[in-house]
């Protein structure tokens, strides 16, 4: 006996359920996740200031870290099909994350490095251009919103040169993303976009030659040269430092409650460096004297307050390491940072000039592994249970002779259809197909099929050419066949819904 009554009720309910699940977890949960994450303007406005009376508003800067769009170098051990599927799902997730971030309507966007996962690798100009164009398609932005980039170690390389890393990685980066060291003014704040990888490389080279900082001649147009020239000029506006590599801190220092796991530890490896060196970090803070520091590279969130000396005075500066925007960077919930900058004409003397807050995005891997897979298993159990115990009527096939002399297979359920006795059919010499006798009168039967019968006759003719048709029809009426048919009917509309959402996300 079936657990559920047989019919289309179970199929339709599961179909509707899965459509709602797809709509929520592919669209709704993104808007819901950042609904309560707003620009921190309230922390900058004076308590007695009428918001409607001010002539200008805080400028909103969106900080994005480590999108690292993947390519063929990212997972070399995977086959073509798995690599393509991984790239498709990661790109789709980045598009949804980016769309969610843009819903905050930023005035300025800054990428904190590692735009590409394999930007430093050896590849042809055509491949790099296609890689860069893919980045631009994912992170499409209105032309009236300024966007800035700083280089990461995955963009330009870092440390020892290996055969896989391109010698033209830096020049390619500059040609596509712009100058690696920049100084821009936003809302009466000076944003310093700093090339941390080249700074780390140059400082390592200086230490290798055992030269002091004072005796070292900076590389022209390099990070150290930029830092010294910046320090030589007076700056009235508050300085905010943007660096891909976080600044040094002692091992084991906590990162605050918003970090998912562990802490940010100093370390160096092939092509990466977790933090700048201790003296390099202090020197950078001394030369720039920033009011705040924002970094990337670590992928997880981290807050840390640095204490350093400037001309004998002790200063403190808070550094925020921004979460990655990608789902495949070893954090369950990606994110981005909202930074509000207060223009000089509406600043309050008792309030800071800037404020920031992190926004967390949905756990895409969790949706796949904790939501979709368990719900799929439960749905399969329901489909199996609803079909359990179903008895398929036994059908027999018999060879019958028809009055017109033709023969054919007749399907019956537990019985044989009877036909007029053969004694009524005119037979013998001179008889013609289609003639028969009823009550002593000779009659002719019109055996020409009507126009409505032709499709069925053509279908029967085609089926007769397939030796396994009877077995296939029998399988479809069996318990496994009905289960597979129900799974097909349930999955069609949810998959179509997913396809429409994917099309909408990738084209709008």
Delimit the domains of the chain by residue range. 36-45+55-370
Helices (H), 388-478: 454-464, 469-476
* pLDDT-based confidence at residue 480 (cuts at 50, 70, 90): confident
Least confident of 86-100, 140-154, 280-294, 406-420: 406-420
Q: Can you read off the two tokens belonging to residue 165?
A: 């890393």
Block residue for tokens 């249970």: 385
Contacts of 273 (CB under 8 A, 6+ apart): 153, 158, 159, 200, 245, 267
* pLDDT-based confidence at residue 413 (cuts at 50, 70, 90): very low
**Per-residue confidence (pLDDT) for residue 461, from 0 to 100:** 59
Closest to 245 in 3D by CA, of 226, 264, 229, 262: 264
Q: Can you read off the two tokens belonging to residue 287?
A: 């030369």
**Per-residue confidence (pLDDT) for residue 453, from 0 to 100:** 55
Contact 317, 354 (CB under 8 A): no
Closest to 87 in 3D by CA, of 100, 102, 72: 72
- pLDDT tops 90 at residue 499: yes
Burial 218-242 (b: 16+ CB within 10 A, else e): bbeebbbbbbeebeeeeeebbbbbb
- pLDDT tops 70 at residue 457: no
**Per-residue confidence (pLDDT) for residue 2, from 0 to 100:** 42
- DSSP string spanning 16-70? HHHHHHHHIIIIIHHHHHTTT----GGGTS-TT--TTT-S---EEEEEEB---B-
Q: How many CA atoms lie less than 13 Å away from 311 in the CB half-sphere? A: 3
- pLDDT tops 70 at residue 337: yes
**Per-residue confidence (pLDDT) for residue 7, from 0 to 100:** 55
Contact 231, 288 (CB under 8 A): yes
Q: Find the mean pLDDT for residues 475-498.
A: 83
Helix (H) or strand (E) holding 153: helix 153-156
**Per-residue confidence (pLDDT) for residue 507, from 0 to 100:** 83
Q: Find the mean pLDDT for residues 73-77.
A: 88
d(CA 488, CA 473): 17
**Per-residue confidence (pLDDT) for residue 419, from 0 to 100:** 42
**Per-residue confidence (pLDDT) for residue 212, from 0 to 100:** 86
Class of the CATH-defined domain 36-45+55-370: alpha beta
- pLDDT tops 80 at residue 381: yes
**Per-residue confidence (pLDDT) for residue 476, from 0 to 100:** 55
């Amino acid at each position: 006996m079936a657990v559920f009554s047989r019919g289309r009720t179970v199929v339709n309910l599961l179909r509707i359920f899965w459509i709602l699940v797809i709509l929520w977890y592919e669209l709704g949960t993104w808007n819901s996740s950042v609904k309560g994450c707003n620009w921190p303007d309230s922390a900058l406005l004076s308590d007695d200031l009428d918001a409607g009376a001010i002539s200008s508003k805080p400028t909103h800067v969106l900080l994005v870290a480590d999108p690292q769009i993947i390519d063929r170098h990212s997972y070399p051990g995977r086959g073509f099909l798995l690599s393509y599927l991984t790239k498709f799902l990661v790109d789709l997730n980045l598009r949804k994350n980016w769309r969610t971030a843009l819903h905050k309507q930023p005035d300025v966007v800054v990428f904190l490095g590692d735009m590409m996962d394999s930007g430093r690798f050896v590849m042809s100009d055509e491949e790099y251009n296609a890689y860069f164009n893919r980045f631009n398609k994912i992170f499409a932005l209105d032309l009236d919103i300024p966007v800035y980039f700083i280089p990461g170690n995955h963009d330009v390389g870092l440390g020892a040169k290996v055969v896989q890393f391109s010698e033209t990685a830096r020049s390619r980066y500059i040609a596509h993303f712009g100058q690696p060291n920049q100084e821009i003014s936003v809302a009466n704040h000076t944003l310093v976009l700093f090339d941390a990888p080249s700074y780390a490389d140059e400082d390592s080279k200086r230490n290798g030659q055992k030269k002091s900082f004072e005796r070292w001649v900076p590389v022209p147009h390099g990070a150290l040269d930029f830092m010294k020239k910046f320090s030589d000029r007076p700056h009235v506006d508050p300085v905010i430092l943007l660096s891909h590599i976080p600044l040094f801190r002692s091992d084991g220092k906590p990162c605050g409650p918003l970090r998912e796991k562990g802490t940010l530890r100093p370390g160096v490896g092939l092509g990466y460096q977790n933090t700048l060196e201790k003296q390099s970090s202090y020197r950078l803070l001394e030369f720039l004297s920033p009011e705040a520091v924002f970094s990337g590279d670590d992928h997880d969130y981290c807050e840390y307050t640095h204490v350093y000396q400037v001309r004998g005075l002790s200063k403190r500066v808070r550094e925020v390491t921004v979460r990655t925007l990608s789902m495949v960077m070893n954090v369950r919930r990606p994110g981005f940072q909202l930074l509000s900058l207060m223009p000089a004409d509406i600043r309050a003397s008792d309030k800071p000039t800037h404020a920031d807050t992190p926004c967390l995005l949905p756990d895409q891997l969790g949706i796949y592994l904790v939501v979709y897979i368990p719900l799929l298993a439960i749905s399969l159990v329901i489909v199996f249970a609803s079909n359990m115990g179903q008895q398929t009527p036994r059908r027999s096939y018999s060879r019958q002779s028809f009055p017109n002399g033709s023969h054919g297979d007749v399907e019956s359920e537990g019985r044989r259809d009877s036909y007029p006795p053969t004694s009524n059919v005119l037979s013998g010499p001179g008889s013609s197909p289609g003639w028969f006798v009823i009550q002593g009168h000779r009659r002719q039967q019109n055996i020409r099929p009507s126009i409505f019968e032709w499709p069925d006759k053509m279908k029967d003719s085609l089926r007769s050419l397939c030796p396994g048709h009877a077995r296939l029809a029998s399988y479809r009426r069996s318990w496994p066949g009905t289960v597979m048919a129900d799974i097909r009917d349930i999955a069609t509309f949810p998959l179509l819904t997913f396809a429409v959402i994917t099309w909408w996300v990738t084209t709008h």
